[in-house]
Amino acid sequence: MPLEPIALLPAVVDLPFREGYVSSTIYVSLYVSVTAVTLSTLFSVPVAIVLGFTDFPGKQLVKSIINTGMGFPSVVVGLLVLFTVSNQGPLGPLDLIFTTEAMIMSQFVLATPPITAISLAAITGVSENVRDAARVLGGTRLDVALVVIKEARYGIATAVLAGFGRAISEVGSVLIVGGNITSAEGISKTRTLTTAIQLEARQGQYETAMVLGAILVALVLVVNAIVVRFGDTEAVNR
């Protein structure tokens, strides 16, 4: 009896993933990182403005903490978020463990220090003369702050990009708090591109790992290209 060739296919070619696996993994990766970076930007830029505009005792300490945060190991962040959202933790009742929300929390913590520090550098780089000009032309404090954000916009864009780069390429914390879970049908629940690569490589599925790796690199490249192009348009005007 002749064998149906299609039935043999998995055994011969060994299709690396099931339908929906890659797209759902990309979706989870982007959803978690974009949300975390957006929230972090909304938090970090105002903090950077306050740090850039005001003097208060302990300001140097705050800046040191932020700078330390830039090099903070992601697995430790993951561990701290895990304690926070675990049953005994302060956020235990919310039942966030092994959810994308918990992953967003840990990426928020990871992305905030670089976004704040780079935005702060951009904001303090805006000439004091320009701030004075805004004020002397009749601007309120809010107007001056808006002028500074506008003058520092490329630096802030770089900061957001750096935060996104850290968030999307990070493995340790999302693995700990997310759990790298897929549904029985192979659809990602809390599996990101990075944790999928880690798992596939460990299982010896090197082709799959490399395909996923290429997708991750391509994603980061696309985001960078958008920002670089945006910067180039500016350079043309310059």
Residues of the shown chain interacting with another protein in the complex, contacts defined by CB under 8 A: 127, 129-130, 132-140, 143, 147, 150-151, 237-238
- The least distance separating another protein from the CB of residue 155, rounded to whole angstroms, comes to 12
The least distance separating another protein from the CB of residue 114, rounded to whole angstroms, comes to 24
* Cα distance from N-terminal residue to C-terminal residue, the chain: 74
Tell me the closest approach of the beta carbon of residue 125 to another protein, in angstroms. Answer: 12
Answer whether 37's CB lies under 8 Å from 160's CB.
yes
Taking the complex as a whole, the smallest distance from the CB of residue 136 to another protein amounts, in Å, to: 4
Q: Which is nearer to another protein, 155 or 172 (CB)?
A: 155
List C-alpha distances in Å: 97 to 83, 86, 102, 166, 194. Answer: 9, 6, 6, 22, 19
- What six digits make up the tokens of 148? 């500074």
Which residues have a Cβ under 8 Å from the Cβ of 237 and sit 6 or more positions away?
Answer: none
Please give the Cα distance from 125 to 131 (Å, whole number): 11
CB of 55 to another protein, least distance (A): 16
Amino acid symbol at 103: M
- Distances from the Cα of 223 to the Cαs of 162, 170, 180, 226, 230, in angstroms? 11, 16, 24, 5, 11
